[in-house]
Structure 1
């Protein structure tokens, strides 16, 4: 398995130096960058996918939670902070660990190892043979639809419309929930209102995504980098 790639963000320089020192003592991890300015970190992370971000929470301009929520993809995250009141919010964000400063090396090592183990499990699951269909409830009926028949998914607030070659299904579910539930099957968000299967994409340009069946869908500005990273 490739090394775990890490970016650390903390407005306190000594904390970044400690993390750098801890990472140097560990095998199979690559600390790619450290940032004192969270806005610089946000710009970097929008352009570069990493496996794990280690974030302070209380920082100027943008806090760690806001930074995490603005990323176009969902890396693993460890919060490393003096604050204790955000633990519940961290749990809601499915972070790997919530560490309260000061943190010794062994505690840090266990948290990063947990992230490595989770990533390895996720990748091994993705490498297994994927199902060629999905199941969902529409109009109080469970439906089974083959992936090859799905054209795209379009969001309308609390509902999504799943469009196939034969019919449309209205599903009471938010786009973000659908995306998270089925992302291992190759679905990717290309716009705030559109999700498609990566295997159905023929090409894309600065404004549109072109599907293999000739359909054209809009490409949202904030999703360009994640689409490029995913397909490359």
Structure 2
């Protein structure tokens, strides 16, 4: 597996640094670099890539506007000296958002995320069941191991993913949407506001499900499903 990538930045020093960093990863192939956004945009129209490293604040067109204009969007890692563009990056579902000066360890973390997400989206190991979930949180993509999910809670337009021994992940997504991303044999909706991992259900009584560390209500419409599932455990 090799990810084709390009870098667009109006700072020559930044391009050299990204080129040097990319060369350390056998899974990345840097096809080309561009010191102006217009040339990079023209290239991408005819030669789509898997991964794009792009600065945001450039003189001719911003990296945000360039990515927004692409019909076929690659995975995007924004590199910038400014923090105030994070929300725009979130809207475009950027894979990551790295502040300059770019530290190699931080760059490595972003690249590893890109490689993992590429495998996840392209199902490069179909013989293995899904073991993780990817969502956008805090202006970047977050990987969550399925076996670490305690339960998922709806907060109107947002959901809270409660993760064992880790910070709760908040993401803009309806509960129905995240349920579609989860393996049907491992997760069950029990209420209009809750999804639970079935292997963490300890008991069900009085229309409440007992998980490892919490009790959650069960809606009437889901009660029989959960009760019948418990019978055959």
What range is the shorter-chain TM-score in? 0.5 to 0.7
Please give the per-residue CA displacement for 1:120-142, whole angstroms capped at 9, x wherever unaligned. 100008969xxxxxxxxxxxxxx
Unpaired runs of 5+ in structure 2? 128-179, 181-233
Q: 1 CA distance for matches of 2:89 and 2:15?
A: 21
Report what 1:29 is aligned to: 28
TM norm structure 2 = 0.53
| Higher RCO (C-alpha 8 Å, min separation 6) | 1
Partner secondary structure for residue 16 of structure 1: helix
Q: 2 CA distance for matches of 1:24 and 1:105?
A: 12
Total equivalences in the alignment: 128
Which ranges of 4 or more aligned residues in structure 1 deviate by more than 2 Å?
Answer: 125-128
Report what 1:11 is aligned to: 10
- The 5 A counterparts of 1:100-111 are 100-111=99-110
Partner secondary structure for residue 31 of structure 2: strand
Unpaired runs of 5+ in structure 1? 129-180, 182-232
Report what 1:55 is aligned to: 54
Report what 1:189 is aligned to: none
Report what 1:116 is aligned to: 115
Please give the per-residue CA displacement for 1:169-203, whole angstroms capped at 9, x wherever unaligned. xxxxxxxxxxxx9xxxxxxxxxxxxxxxxxxxxxx
Please give the per-residue CA displacement for 1:148-182, whole angstroms capped at 9, x wherever unaligned. xxxxxxxxxxxxxxxxxxxxxxxxxxxxxxxxx9x
From the superposition, tell whether residues 44 and 126 of structure 1 become closer, same or farther in structure 2 (CA, over 3 Å).
Answer: farther
For the pair shown, the structure with the greater C-alpha radius of gyration is 2
For the Cα contact (< 8 Å) 2:119–2:125, is it kept in 1? no
Q: 2 CA distance for matches of 1:127 and 1:42?
A: 34
Partner secondary structure for residue 6 of structure 1: strand
For the Cα contact (< 8 Å) 2:83–2:99, is it kept in 1? yes
RMSD: 1.8
From the superposition, tell whether residues 126 and 72 of structure 1 become closer, same or farther in structure 2 (CA, over 3 Å).
Answer: farther
Q: CA deviation at 1:89?
A: 1.3
TM norm structure 1 = 0.53
Partner secondary structure for residue 58 of structure 1: coil
- The 5 A counterparts of 1:110-149 are 110-124=109-123
Partner secondary structure for residue 33 of structure 1: strand
